[in-house]
Amino acid sequence: MNAPNVSGMLMLILPEVVLSVGAMITLLLGVSGADAGRSHRAAMAALATAVVGVVLAIGMLTGAPLAPGTTFIANDGFRWTLTALLCAGTGAAVVLTEAYDRRAGVARAETPALLLLAATGMTLLTAARDLMVVFLGIELMSLATYVLVAMHRTSARAAEAAVKYFLLGAFSTAFLLYGIALVYGATGSMQLEGIGSAVASGAKLPGLLMAGVALMLVGLAFKVAAAPFHLWTPDVYDGAPTAVTGFMAASVKAAAFAIFLRITAEAFAPLLADWHPVLWVLAAATMVIGNVLALGQQQIKRVLAYSSIAHAGYLLVAVVSFSAEGATALVFYLVAYTLATMGAFAVLVALSDGTDRPLVRQDLAGLRERHPWLALAFAVCVLSMLGFPLAGGVGFFAKWQVLQAALQASVPQQTLAIVLVLSSVVSGGYYLGLIAPAFMQSPVPAARPIPAPPTGVRAIAIACAVVVLVLGVLPSSLTRLAQRSAPSAFAGGPTVATTIQP
Amino acid sequence: MIADSTTTVQQNALLAALIGLPALGAVANGALAVQTARTRTHAPDAPAPVGLASMLGVGSIAAAFIVAVLLFVQLTSGAGAVTAHFGDWLVFPTEAGRTPLIAWDFTFDRLSSVLALVITGVGTLIHVFSVGYMNDDPGFARYFAYLNLFVAFMLVLVLGASYPVLFIGWEGVGLCSYLLIGFWFGESANADAGRKAFVVNRIGDMGLIAAMCILFTQTGHLDFAGAHAGLSGMSTGLITAIGLALLLGCAGKSAQVPLYLWLPDAMAGPTPVSALIHAATMVTAGVYLVVRASPIFAASPTASLAVALIGAITALFAASIALRQWDIKKVLAYSTVSQLGYMFMGVGVGAYTAGVFHLVTHAFFKALLFLGAGAVIHAMHAAYHHAHEHGDAQDLRNMGGLRAAMPATGALMWIATLAIVGIPPLAGFFSKDEILVSVFARAMGSPLASASLMGLSGQVVLFVVLGFGTITALLTAIYMTRLALLAFEGPGRSSTSVQQGVHDAHGTLLWPLVALGILTVAGGWLNLPALIPIGPVGVLEHWLEPIVGETTRRLAPIAALPHEQELWITGGAVINAIFGIGIALWLWRRWAPVDAHHATPGTGFGGLLERAYDVDAAVQRGLVGPVLAFAKRVLWGTVDRGVDGALTGGGGGLARAAQWVSAQVQVGDASRYVWVVALGVLGTLAALAWRS
C-alpha cells in the first residue's frame, strides 16, 4: 500500500477535520457577538457541522468506489456507515443538550463544542487501524464525555457521576494502554494488519501477547459497558444530564463497538480460539446481568442504563459470532439501537423539569393525554429496544440479525442465542413497565410546571419513531447497507473460525 | 412472476397509490381524531371535524377507486398482471443463500383486480353513506380513520402476492373489524362483541398459520407461484392437510360453521360497517383465499368436498335461524352467513368463477340491504328521538308500513330482497343459479363425485350439498320476504308520533343506495350463462380463465350438462324462490302484530330458532366456562402469578433479588467498583493464560 500524498491524507481524515474545525468555530461563536443568542448560535453551528459530517459520509458511501485506505486509517463501508450514524447521533445530541441545558438555565457554547470533539474521536475510532490512532480516538471521545457529564456544575449528582466516570475511565484506559504496549512488545507492530500477520505467523512471546490481548479486551469491555466492567454505567448514566446520557448510551457505545469489532477482526482474528471463550462469557453475563438488574430499578434513567448494558451483551453476541453476518448484524443493530435510544431520550428530555431530580416511572404517567405523539414515539422506541415485531419496527430485525448471525456462525452459538432470547423476554418486564404508565395511568400534577417541549426535541422523538417503523416494514434497504459495511477482513469468509469451541 | 419485466415504474406507482391512498387517509384521519380528543380535554363539547374528516375519508377511497379503474383498464387492454416488489421483509438464510421469506410483493392480476374494484367501489359508496349516517357522532374522525385503514388492509389482503402478505392484510382487517364492532365501546356489550370476533378469529388464524408452516417446510416458498409450483412433489394426504388447515382459517374469517358465532354479534358496530366489513368485503376473504389457493384445493378433492359441505351446512343452518330473528340487522347477519355458505359451496365444488361471481353480486345486494336497513334505523332513531320515546329502532316489530314514509328506500330494499331471493333478471339469480348448476353437474360425475370424504362417497356429499342449497334458497325467500313485509308493508306498529317522524333518506344517505340498486339490477350481466344469452356470455369466466381455468378443469364434470337438465334446475330454482315468497306472504298476512316490549319469547322449535339454536349458551357453558375456570385457577392463579411474582410485581422474587444485588454491588462507591474491575481483569487474564 503506497503512502498517499498530503492532500490524499487530508481527504482520508476529512470528517475528523470538519468536526474539529466545527468545534472550534462553535467555541468562537460562544464568546462572540451579542450575549443573548450566543449559546443558540453555537448550537446551530454545531448542528450544521454534524449535518455536514453526515452528508460527507453518505457521499463517500454512495459516491465512487472507495480507494484503499492506509495501514492506519481505513477507508471502507464500515467506517463511513458508522461515521454517518455517529454524526447523526451527535446532531441529535446537540439539539437535545441545548433544549435540556436551556431548561436547566445553564445553556453554554462549550456543550455543543465538546459534543463535536467527542464526535471527532468517535469517527476516528470507526477508521482507526493503528493502535495509536485507536488510543487517540478513545481518549478524545472519553475526555470530552467526562466533561460533558460534569457540565451542570451546580448539580452534585452530575459532579459525582463525572468524577466516578473519570476515575474508572482512567483506570480502564490504563489497562488498554498497558495491553497496547504488551501487544506491541510481542508483535513489534502497532498496526492492526501488522499485528494480525505477526500473530498468524506465530508470536515469539505468546505469554506477553496473551496478556496484552487480555488487557486490551478489558479496556474495550469497559468502554462498551460489558459485565463485569459495567459498574460505572448505572451511576454515570443516572447522574449525567439526561441529554448527555442519551448521547453516551447511543453514540459513545456505538463508537466503542466499532473499534471493538475492527480490532478483533483485523488484529486478533488468528487468536480467535483464545479470546472467543472470554467474550462468550462476557456476552452471556452482560445480557443476563443487564436485563435482570434492570427489573429492580425505579428510576427511568437507571432502567435505561441497565438496558444499554443488555444491548451491549446482544452486540457482543454479534462480535462473538465473528463472521460477515456478525458484522452485518452489528452495523444493523447499531443503527436500530441509536434510533431507538435517541428517540426515547428525546422524550425524557421533553419531560424533564430542568432540575437534576431523577425521573421515575410516575413522571411518565398520563403521557398519552399530555403529549399523545410523544407518547406514541416513546412506545415505539421502547418496543424497538424490546425487539417487538412491527410496532417495535426495526428493533425486531436487529435482534433477528444477531440471532441469525449467532446460529450461522461456523460453529453455531445456540447457547448464546437461547440466552439472548430468554433474557429479552425478561426485558419485557421493565420495557413494558415504562410504557404502561404512559398509556394506562392518569397524569399526576407535576411539582414544577413542565414547559412545552421545544420543536427540535419533538421532531427528533417523532422522526426516530417514524424511521424505526419504516425500517421495520422495509428492513431490506438497511440490511443491504449493513452487508456492504462489513469490514473487509471478513470478505474472505471466516477461515479461522473453525477453531471455535461451541 | 412472469409479468415482472412488463411492469413499468408508472404501474408500480399506481399499485403503491392504490394501497397508500387509503392508508394515508387513515393516518390523516387518525391525526385529526387525536387532535379532536386533545381539544376535548379542555372543551368537552368541541364538534367533530366532520367536513375535513369526510373529505379525507371519502376522498382517499374514491381516489383509490380511480387508481383501481386505471390499473384495470390497463389490464383489459392486454397488459400482463402488474407485480410490484417493494423490498424484502423477513430474510431467511437457506442453503441457496439469503432468500426472502416474506417479500413486499403485490400483484394486480385478474382475480385481485375484481376484488380491488369491489372493495374500493362499494367501499366508496359506503364511505359516502357513512358521512350522513355518522354525521352527529362525536367520534367521526376516528370512525373514518378505522374505515380507511380497513380498506388499506383489505387491499393488502387481495393484492398480496404471497401467503404472509395476505396474512398481514388478513390480520389487519381483523383488527379494524374489532375496532369498528366495538366503535361505541361505551356500552360493554359492543366491546364484548368486538372481543368475541377477535377471539373466534384467532382460532381460524391458527389454521392459516399451520397451512403456511406446512407449505414453507415442504416447498420452501410462501409466494403463491412458488408454493403452488412446489405442490407437485407432495403427497395428496399432505395437500389435504394444508387444504383443511386453510379451510379452518377461511371458516373463521368468513363465519362458517362452527366459527360463525362472532358475525351476528358483530352487528353491534355502526350499520355502514356491517355493510362494508361484515357483508361485502372482509367476510368474503375466506372465499377469496380458497380461489387464490385453488391449486391446493384442486389437488385435493377431499379438502374441496369439505369446503362444499361446510358451506352447505352453514347456508342451511344460518338461513333457518334468520327465519325467526326480530332485529333487522340480525336477520341480515344470518343471511350473510348463509350466503357465504353458498359461496363456499361454489368454490368447494371447484366452480371458482361461480364463487367469485356470487361474492361480487352479494357485495352489491347485501351492501344495499345493509345500507337500506341503516337508512331505516337512522330514520326510526330520529323519529323516536323526535317523539321523545324510547324504543328499539332495529326491531322489526316496531316497524311496519315504512314504505309510505320512505318510498325510495322501500323500493330499493324490495329490489335487493328479490335479488337475494333469486328472481330473474336480478344479480342474485344468476350467481346463485350458477352455483347450484355447478354442484349438480359435478354430482352427476366428476373427480369430486368419485372422491370421498370421511368414508362418504363424493357423490352423496354433493347431492347433500345440492339438497341443502335448494332448501336454503327456499328459506332465503321466506325470511327475506318476511323482513321486507314486516318493515315496509302492512300498518305501522309504532306510535303515531313516531310514525309521523319517519322521513325518507336523502342526500348522502340515499344516492349510494341508488347506485347499489343499479348494480344489483345489472350485476348479473357480469357472467351470463349460455342458457340465457341476453348479453355477452360468461364475461367473468373468460376474465378469470388465466387464474382459475386450469384448476377448475381439474375438478370439472366429466360430461357437460345437457341443456334441458340445466333448464330444469334453473326453472326449479325460480319456482322454488317464488314458492318461498308465497309461503312468506301467506304466513305473515294474518300475523297478529306484537309490541316488541311485550313480546314473549318464542317456544318450541320457533323459540329455539329465535335463540339461534342456543349455540351461544352451549358454547358459554361447555367451552368458555371451563376455559375461563382453567385460566383463572391454573394459568392465572398458579402459573401467571408465579411468574409475575418471580419476575416483576414490585417486590416480587427476581425484581427483589435484582434490587438486593444492586444494593450490594451498586453502592455508588467507586473504590469498590475498582475491586470488581480488578477481579474481572484477573479472570480475563487467567482465561487467556489457561488457553495458551
Query: Chain B interface residues facing chain A, Cβ-Cβ under 8 Å?
Result: 34, 37-38, 41, 86-91, 93, 100, 104, 647-648, 654-662, 665-666, 668, 670, 673-674, 676-677, 679-681, 684-685, 687-689, 691-692
Reply yes or no on whether the pLDDT at B606 is more than 90.
no
- What number of CA atoms fall less than 13 Å from residue B173's CA on the CB side? 29
The C-alpha cell of A293 is what? 438488574
* Kind of pairing between the strands at B91-94 and B452-453: unpaired
Q: What is the DSSP letter of A185?
A: H
**pLDDT score recorded for residue A436:** 92
CA distance A392 to A380: 5
Q: What is the DSSP letter of A451?
A: P
B-chain residue closest to A285, CA distance:
B680
Split at pLDDT 50, 70, 90, the class of B6 is low
Residues of B with CB below 8 A from A477's CB?
87
Q: Does A175 touch chain B (CB under 8 A)?
A: yes
The C-alpha cell of A296 is what? 429492580
Q: Note which residues in 400-459 of chain A have CB less than 8 A from chain B.
A: 400, 404, 408, 426, 429-430, 433
Split at pLDDT 50, 70, 90, the class of B99 is low
Q: Of B89, B647, B688, which has the smallest distance from its Cβ to A278's Cβ?
A: B688
Q: State whether A278 and B687 contact (CB < 8 Å).
A: yes
Dihedral in degrees, nearest 10, Cα atoms A382, A386, A387, A393: -10
B-chain residue closest to A426, CA distance:
B647
Residue whose C-alpha cell reads 441529535 in the numeric block: A92
- Average pLDDT value for chain B: 88
Q: Of A164, A172, A234, which has the smallest distance from its Cβ to B670's Cβ?
A: A164
Q: Note which residues in 269-298 of chain A have CB less than 8 A from chain B.
A: 273-275, 277-278, 281, 292-297
B-chain residue closest to A401, CA distance:
B91
- Mention every residue, 6+ apart, whose C-beta is less than 8 A from residue A353: A103, A446, A447, A448, A449, A450
**pLDDT score recorded for residue A253:** 95
Q: Of A167, A222, A429, which has the smallest distance from its Cβ to B670's Cβ?
A: A167
Q: Does A193 touch chain B (CB under 8 A)?
A: no
Q: B557: left (phi > 0), else alpha (psi -120 to 50), else beta? A: beta
Measure in Å the smallest separation between the Cα of B277 and chain A Cα atoms: 24
Mean pLDDT of the B505-534 span: 88
Measure in Å the smallest separation between the Cα of A154 and chain B Cα atoms: 20
The C-alpha cell of B380 is what? 326510526
Length reported for chain A: 502
Q: State whether A277 and B687 contact (CB < 8 Å).
A: yes
Length reported for chain B: 692
Q: State whether B648 and A477 contact (CB < 8 Å).
A: no
Q: Note which residues in 203-232 of chain A have CB less than 8 A from chain B.
A: 206-207, 210-211, 213-215, 217-218, 221-222, 228-229, 231-232
Q: State whether A231 and B104 contact (CB < 8 Å).
A: no
- Mention every residue, 6+ apart, whose C-beta is less than 8 A from residue B577: B421, B422, B423, B473, B474, B476, B477
Measure in Å the smallest separation between the Cα of B26 and chain A Cα atoms: 16
Reply yes or no on whether the pLDDT at B649 is more than 80.
no
Burial of A62 (0-12, 13-18, 19+ CB in 10 A): exposed
Bigger pLDDT: A445 vs B293: B293
Cβ atoms A18, A124 nearer than 8 A: no
Tell me the count of A-B CB pairs closer than 8 A.
127
Split at pLDDT 50, 70, 90, the class of B143 is very high
Measure in Å the smallest separation between the Cα of B208 and chain A Cα atoms: 19
Q: State whether B89 and A473 contact (CB < 8 Å).
A: yes
Q: State whether A277 and B93 contact (CB < 8 Å).
A: no
Q: Is B531 helix (H, G, I), strand (E, B) or coil?
A: coil
Q: State whether B689 and A217 contact (CB < 8 Å).
A: no
Cβ atoms B88, A471 nearer than 8 A: no
Q: State whether A228 and B662 contact (CB < 8 Å).
A: no
- Mention every residue, 6+ apart, whose C-beta is less than 8 A from residue B36: B46, B48, B49, B141, B142
Reply yes or no on whether the pLDDT at B437 is more than 70.
yes
ipTM of this predicted complex?
A: 0.83
Split at pLDDT 50, 70, 90, the class of B155 is very high
Q: What is the pLDDT along chain A (502 residues), one digit of tens a residue?
A: 455 577 778 888 899 999 999 999 999 998 887 777 888 999 999 999 999 999 999 998 888 777 777 888 888 889 999 999 999 999 999 999 999 999 888 888 899 999 999 999 999 999 999 999 999 999 999 999 999 999 988 888 999 999 999 999 999 999 999 999 999 999 989 999 899 999 888 767 788 899 999 999 999 999 999 988 999 999 999 999 999 999 999 999 999 999 999 999 999 988 888 899 999 999 999 999 999 889 888 899 999 999 999 999 999 999 999 988 899 999 999 999 999 999 999 999 999 888 888 888 888 988 888 888 899 999 999 999 999 988 888 999 999 999 989 998 877 889 999 999 999 998 998 999 899 999 988 887 766 677 888 999 999 999 999 999 999 988 888 888 888 887 777 754 443 333 344 3
Reply yes or no on whether the pLDDT at B364 is more than 80.
yes
Q: What is the DSSP letter of A233?
A: H
Q: Of A218, A274, A430, which has the smallest distance from its Cβ to B681's Cβ?
A: A218
- For the stretch B480-513, what's the b/e string if a residue is b when 16 or more beta carbons lie within 10 angstroms of its beta carbon? bbbbbbbbbbbebbbeeebbebbebbeebbbbbb
HEC secondary structure over B368-380: HHHHHHHHHHHHH
**pLDDT score recorded for residue A498:** 37
The per-residue pLDDT for range B665-683, each reduced to its tens digit, is 777 777 888 888 888 889 8
Residues of B with CB below 8 A from A211's CB?
685, 688-689
Q: Does A474 touch chain B (CB under 8 A)?
A: yes
- Candidates A226, A238, A207, A261; CA nearest to B677 is A226
A-chain residue closest to B101, CA distance:
A476
Cβ atoms A250, A257 nearer than 8 A: no
**pLDDT score recorded for residue B100:** 65
CA distance B405 to B498: 11
Instruction: List helix spans (H) across A150-248.
Output: 156-187, 192-200, 206-224, 232-239, 242-247
**pLDDT score recorded for residue B445:** 85
pTM of structure: 0.82
- What number of CA atoms fall less than 13 Å from residue A208's CA on the CB side? 14
**Residue of B35, B153, B660, B691 to mutate, interface with A, max A Cβ within 10 Å:** B691
Q: Of B658, B673, B689, which has the smallest distance from its Cβ to A292's Cβ?
A: B658
- Domain boundaries in chain A? 11-499
Q: Note which residues in 390-409 of chain A have CB less than 8 A from chain B.
A: 400, 404, 408
Measure in Å the smallest separation between the Cα of B689 and chain A Cα atoms: 7
Cβ atoms B163, B222 nearer than 8 A: yes
Roughly how many angstroms between the first and final C-alpha of chain B, as a whole number?
56
